[in-house]
A and B are shown apart, each in its own frame.
Chain A
Amino acid sequence: MYSGMFPERGSRMTSDARTINIAMEFSSTPGARYRSDGPYSGEEFREAILETALQESGPDACVEIVLDGTEGYATSFLEEAFGGLARKLGCDVCLQRLRFRSEEDPLLVEEIQRYIRGADE
């Protein structure tokens, strides 16, 4: 089930779009908020994986994030990774360039989108 929003005008969702599988490329046990909290934190994921992928894929290209395969995400991880990115790049840019996919837990996509929208508040 594809749970992301439809690509908006101006964004590119090509077949060679970068895909990040969190369980495979980062960790199947994501941690807490900051690096100081322990391994596999949201801050680490954002800086090492997410921002790098966005830079590499070009200014308008989309990045697809596969959320399945982990043992659950803490709110602190999700908020820091995606809410933190929205605080840096802006909510609209994040919603436009990030596509989330979760077949196991579609509600997770909605949860992340809430953190992105709530980052401006």
Chain B
Amino acid sequence: MRRSKGTYAVPMSRRLGVEWGPAAWAVVAVLAMVIIMAIAAWCNWEASKGDFWRLKLVDFISPVAALLVGVLLANLFSSREAKQLHKSEILERLAICAQETCRAAVMSTYSYVRDPSRKREREVLTEFQNLSRAVGLLRTAKITDATIPYEPRLSECFFELKATATDSPFGQDRPSFTEERARRLERLSANFDKEFLRFRLAIYS
């Protein structure tokens, strides 16, 4: 499976949006704790009437403990989100690889139609075999990750595209593809492309 330069990179805005959404809440929680600590410290200071030596050890420990808990919570939230983001990125890379394999399969079909040969015929079948494996993997990933709010039509699109590309007269000594079939191939490949985009968008929704 091929991958063109830089196409799989997740846009920074989206990355920030996903990674910092819940993490921002954790930061807000930490800030709130710091403010509460400051108020508590000020109240203690007032209660001690400005005399430092009247403060007790617990007056120092409780704000530090609150800060520690806040930092731990923030760390927990952000690491969980980072893990989910990493998983989504891997899934998207897989989808992009599959999308590019699909384009490669369609391109090799076009070159076979223009100039049929046994070598090109094998190339087309190998590309479709790669595509089938990639779509199978994506479908499995979708099944295991129930958070993706999307019912993929990837396998349907794949079956239609493959049937249009590799059914008779494909593989004959002198195959002749009709104009109507070439248009159908183009339309199905565009649909498949659209389906891949829908899948990629659904990963981050």
Question: Which partner residue on chain B sits nearest A106 by CB separation?
Answer: B136
- What is the bound-complex CA distance between A46 and B46, given in angstroms? 94
Known: A33-B171, A37-B171, A110-B155. A74 touches B166 (CB 8 A): yes
Nearest B-chain residue to A40, judged by Cβ: B171
**Which residues of chain B come closer than 8 Å to A8, judged between CB atoms?**
none
Contact indicator B171/A105 (Cβ below 8 Å): no
**Does chain A have a CB within 8 A of B62?**
no
C-alpha gap A6/B131 in the complex (Å): 27
By the criterion CB–CB under 8 Å, are A72 and B172 in contact? no
| B129 in complex: contacting residue of A32, A75, A105, CB < 8 Å | A105
Question: Chain A: how many interface residues by the 8 Å CB criterion?
Answer: 23
- Chain B, residue nearest A110 (CB): B155
B residues in contact with A79, CB < 8 Å: 167
B94 → chain A closest CB, angstroms? 14
Give the distance in Å from the alpha carbon of A32 to the alpha carbon of B132 in the complex.
18
List residues of A (8-51) whose CB comes within 8 Å of B's CBs: 29, 31-34, 37-38
Is the Cβ of A32 less than 8 Å from the Cβ of B133? no
* Contacting residues, chain B, for A107 (C-beta < 8 A): 132-133, 135-136, 139, 155, 158
| B positions within 8 Å CB-CB of A | 121-122, 125-126, 128-129, 132-133, 135-136, 139, 155, 158-159, 162-163, 165-168, 170-173
Binding site for B on A (CB under 8 A): 29, 31-34, 37-38, 71-77, 79, 104-108, 110-111, 114
